[in-house]
Amino acid sequence: MQTRKLGTQGLTVSALGLGCMGMAGTAGQTAMYGTVDRGEAIATLHRALELGVNFLDTAEVYGPFRNEELLAEGLRGRRDQAIIATKFGFDIADGKVAGVNSRPENVRAVADASLKRLGTDHIDLFYQHRVDPAVPIEDTVGAMADLVHAGKVRFLGLSEAGPATLARAHKVHPISALQSEWSLWERGVEADIVPLCAELGIGFVPYSPLGRGFLTGQQPRAEDLPDSDYRSKDPRYQGANYDANMAAVAIVKGIAAAHGATAAQVALAWLLHKGPGVVPIPGSKRRVTLEDNAGAAALALTAADMAALDAALPPGTTAGDRYGSKFMMSMVRL
Q: 180 forms bridges with which residues in the sheet?
A: 206
**Alpha carbon separation from 169 to 90, 249, 276, 292 (Å, rounded):** 19, 37, 23, 36
C-alpha dihedral, 230 to 233 to 235 to 239, nearest 10° = 120
Helices and strands (DSSP H and E) totals, the chain: 11, 13
Give the residue among 56, 55, 49 at the shortest CA–CA distance from 23: 56
Dist CA 294 CA 297 (whole Å): 6
Positions annotated as catalytic residues are 62
Dist CA 111 CA 88 (whole Å): 8
CB 322 within 8 A of CB 186: yes
